[in-house]
Structure 1
Amino acid sequence: MLERNGHGGDLTTAVELFGVPARDLLDYSANINPLGPPPGLKDVLHEEWAGLVHYPDPESRELRRAISQKYNIEPASILIGNGAAEIIDLIVRGFKPGKVAVVDPAFLEYAEAALKAGAEVLSVPASADDGFAIPEEALFAACEEADLLFIGQPNNPTGQWLNKEAVVRLADTAVTYNTVVVLDEAFIDFFEDERELSFIREAATSRHVIVIRSMTKFYGIPGLRLGYASSHPDNISFIRKLQVPWSVNHLAQKAGVYALNQSEYETRTRQLVAVERAWLEEELKRIGCLPYPGKANFMLVRTAASGPDASELQLILGKQGILIRLCTGFTGLDTRYFRIAVRTCMENERLIAALRGALCNQQGAEEVDWPSR
């Protein structure tokens, strides 16, 4: 199984399993910007190479100022981390919750961080019959019992999200029951209405809401590891005391500052994802799959009851150098579910051709007609 380490994007394992060189792999298992890093970033990293002889700024001041200016929040309300995963771990270790509520299926790190900290995990299940819509009333009820509540905004792997009004109501409920709500906005940058939906500014003054953002997905730099959080300065100061010194390296900090100023790249990314996602949804339906709706750069897909299941598809496509994310590790999802990223036009056509070949019990994409636009 490709997900032996619990996540997608594991090219080393893929090479071992499928015998395809890493340079030839088309990775749909990791939800990374299909455009790659912003143009010019390589030059920036080259220019900053000399800085490697010095320790990085332990407070990431320049990057915090850049985020502050972009979202009009105080630098004291911002924590920079070595990816969103580090921040999740810091939050759980810092608040020491007895009970942590998680909307399932969900990003695995929420429950894993809670269990490592000795907390009880309370599952708030989303129903396949409802398209995995986030169960709002169950969330509000969970605030009564849980000390911490994690919710993906949008949720990974389902792609579902809460509207702004529901988030406001959830934040108010958290105050009532003295719960801390963690909104994971790792993929919200891919939404064309990101500015309207994000809770990053409201969280900056809240003691009961923490927003987590990832820079690695949207800006195509997962190898650098970079993320940040927004919350009340007291929360940020408290959490930061648990962070190891120099957690975020020099090149990652400089990459973040540069990336935040690439507005044209951001617009092109959102436009590409919207167009290609819509095309993928239609083509997946044509070959008998059920794609769940959303707006992020990934989608959850269910195979038909007859024919290959997702684990078989992963093997068939893997041998062709195409990686998809099997979803059996997510609570509530079985071998019929897989997740794919949204990539470029030509790459998406190759994926659909390969899936069509596999589902038609043929040998590969070369033996079927490629989809036309």
Structure 2
Amino acid sequence: MEIHGGDIYTAEEELQTDYVIDFSANINPFGVPASVRKAINGAVQQLVHYPDPYQRKLRHALGEFHQVHPDHIVCGNGGADVIFRLVRAVAPKKALVLAPTFSEYAKALEENGCEVQYWTMPEPFVVTEAILDELEQGSYDFLALCNPNNPTGTLIAPGLLQQILDLAKQKQVFVLLDECFYDMTEDEMGIDSMILDSGSYANLLILKSMTKLYAIPGLRLGYGICSNAELVERIRTMGQPWPVSTLASEAGCAAVEDHTYRTQFLKFLQEERDFLYDGLKSLGFRVWKPHANYIFFQVPGCYDLDRRLLTYHVLLRHCDSYVGLNAEYYRAAVRSREDNQYFLRCLRKIISKRGLY
């Protein structure tokens, strides 16, 4: 089984408590928006009917939000579901995947008989122009990119991303561009989503998720945007016919209309992200400048920081399960000021009482 963040259940079972502060999952600490709660409650009476297999209302709402045609949107049971459906629909033979990055790309590809080659990002884990040579020389028909990347939080330079997409189009390589954490970068100059340019690339699907920003991972709601309407329909038909529940659909429609919640969170994120980043740096860790709602850091020589933190009821994402990383790397979500301060205090206690190495 793949290891992911957010497994509070195992931690609670081990600690014999329901009190766990979860820094392992990159979820908005504001919690579920009131508008979404209201929409879910209002949709309960609709549960006597099957969900709409075409997600008409949801795709229309997402289309208006992103300014794309609803026929260019495919919805799924979380972003991971869309990944697996896409791979089944495209059926690639040889794929190029970054390392380190989200594990579900490779898992979906390998489960469908695709050969996976990893392209290791050079320190400090950024995509460089060298990937263009790899695409030019390799016989790939699929490329998976994550921007900002998970778990490193690093971004692909806009000019380079354009070059990659242009070359992939020329070489007939299908590109999965995961922008699930893009919403966290909107305050940064020069960083633009590729959604409005997606019409130029029929070989591109942009992956989005509502899990992180709107704090609804338990509902499972993700979607893809692709200008190839025929492929979108083919992706929709892969897997079971009702991937989006009625409650998830109504929640998604309400979420995209809640501009106040979104604006308040992004303002909060800028402040708390810097606070946590500075705090981790002050402890002497090697910390990557964050571009999402999580912070990637390395503690050289320390391979069990997650276990040590668990005694303080803090759940941290250990990154040794990512291809290209060892047990010295960790990822921490940005949470409330109170939680972030507690997290830093726990780290200081570990350093002062026991030492890290």
TM-score band, normalised by shorter chain? over 0.9
Quote the residue 1:357 is aligned against.
349
1:124 positional shift = 0.7
Tell me, yes or no, if the aligned pair for 1:124 and 1:139 is still in contact at 8 Å: no
Quote the residue 1:20 is aligned against.
17
Question: Which letter maps to 2:130?
Answer: E
User: Does residue 8 of structure 1 match 2:5?
Assistant: yes
Quote the residue 1:186 is aligned against.
180
User: After superposition, what is the alpha-carbon deviation per residue over 1:295-338, rounded to whole angstroms, capped at 9, x for unaligned?
Assistant: 10011110133xxx242x21121121110001110011111111
Question: Which letter maps to 1:13?
Answer: T
- Correspondence for 2:169 among 165, 172, 175: 175
- Correspondence for 2:84 among 89, 112, 118: 89
User: Does residue 114 of structure 1 match 2:109?
Assistant: yes
Quote the residue 2:322 is aligned against.
330
1:140 positional shift = 5.4
User: Does residue 51 of structure 1 match 2:43?
Assistant: no
1:204 positional shift = 4.4
In the alignment, the residues of structure 2 paired with residue 215 and residue 39 of structure 1 have an alpha-carbon distance, to the nearest angstrom, of: 15
Quote the residue 2:28 is aligned against.
33
Identity %: 34
- Correspondence for 2:237 among 238, 241, 244: 241
| Runs of 4+ more than 3 Å apart | 193-196
Q: Per the alignment, in what secondary structure is the counterpart of residue 102 of structure 1?
A: strand
- TM-score, normalised with respect to structure 1: 0.90
Question: Which letter maps to 1:331?
Answer: V
In the alignment, the residues of structure 1 paired with residue 153 and residue 33 of structure 2 have an alpha-carbon distance, to the nearest angstrom, of: 24
Tell me, yes or no, if the aligned pair for 1:74 and 1:204 is still in contact at 8 Å: no
* Superposition map of 1:1-373 within 5 A: 5-21=2-18, 24-127=19-122, 130-139=123-132, 141-142=134-135, 144-193=138-187, 197-204=192-199, 206-232=201-227, 233-305=229-301, 309-311=302-304, 313-362=305-354
1:166 positional shift = 2.1
* Structure 1: runs of 5+ lacking an equivalent: 364-373
In the alignment, the residues of structure 2 paired with residue 317 and residue 342 of structure 1 have an alpha-carbon distance, to the nearest angstrom, of: 16
Question: Which letter maps to 1:289?
Answer: F
Q: Per the alignment, in what secondary structure is the counterpart of residue 197 of structure 1?
A: coil
**Greater relative contact order: 1 or 2 (C-alpha under 8 angstroms, separation 6 or more)?**
2
Quote the residue 1:368 is aligned against.
none
User: After superposition, what is the alpha-carbon deviation per residue over 1:271-304, rounded to whole angstroms, capped at 9, x for unaligned?
Assistant: 1111111111111111121111121001111013
- TM-score, normalised with respect to structure 2: 0.94
Task: Tell me how large the CA RMSD over aligned residues is.
Answer: 1.7
1:237 positional shift = 1.6
Q: Per the alignment, in what secondary structure is the counterpart of residue 71 of structure 2?
A: helix
In the alignment, the residues of structure 1 paired with residue 344 and residue 264 of structure 2 have an alpha-carbon distance, to the nearest angstrom, of: 23
Distance 1:139 1:219, change over 3 A: farther
